Structure 1
Amino acid sequence: MLRTIDLRGRAMAPAELRAVLPRAEVNIEVASERVRPILDRVRTEGAAALADLSEQFDGVRPETLRVRRSALEQALRELEPAVRAALEEAIRRARLGHEAQVPKPVTTSLAPGAEVRQRWVPVGRVGLYVPGGLAALVSSVVMNVVPAQVAGVRSIAVASPPQKENDGLPDATILAACALLGVDEVYAVGGAQAIGMFAYGVSATGAEADELSTCAPVDVVTGPGNIYVAAAKRAVLGVVGIDSEAGTTEIAVLADESADPQLVAADLISQAEHDPAAGSVLVTDSPELATAVAEAIGLQTDVAKHHQRIRTALTGPQSGVVLVDDLEHGIAVVDAYAAEHLEIHTRDAAAVADRIQNAGAIFVGPYSPVPLGDYIAGSNHVLPTGGTARFASGLGVQAYLKSVQVIEYDREGLTEVTDQLITLAEAEDLPAHGEAARLRRQH
Structure 2
Amino acid sequence: MLQLWLIMSLATLINGILIILAIHIDSIQMTSNSKERDQICERLRQNNSTKFSILAVGKTKKRLLLITMDYLVYDVPIGSINSTIDRLYLGSKPVKLDEKYPILYNSHHFQQIMGETVISLIMSDADSDWICLSTRKDTSSNSGCNYDIDHEEALDGWQYFGKDSLVMISTDQPCQYYSLRSEGTLQINLYQCVGSDRIREVQKISPKFDYSAICYDQTQTKITVQRIVQNVAKCRSGIPVIWPVLKGFVSDGKFYLFGQSHIYIFDENVYKQQGQSYPVEKRSYDSFFNCPGIIAPSNVFKSYFNWIIGAIIVLLAILSILIWCILSIRRRRRTRTSLKRVKSGRSKVMSKQNLSKLSSTIVTKRSAKSVASRMKSRFVRKVGSRSALSQGSGNVTVRSGVGSKAVSNMNRKTTVSRLKRSSTRIQSNSSRFI
TM score, norm. by length of structure 1: 0.22
Larger Rg: 2
TM score, norm. by length of structure 2: 0.22
Higher strand share: 2
Query: Relative contact order, CA 8 A, sep 6+: which one is greater?
Result: 1
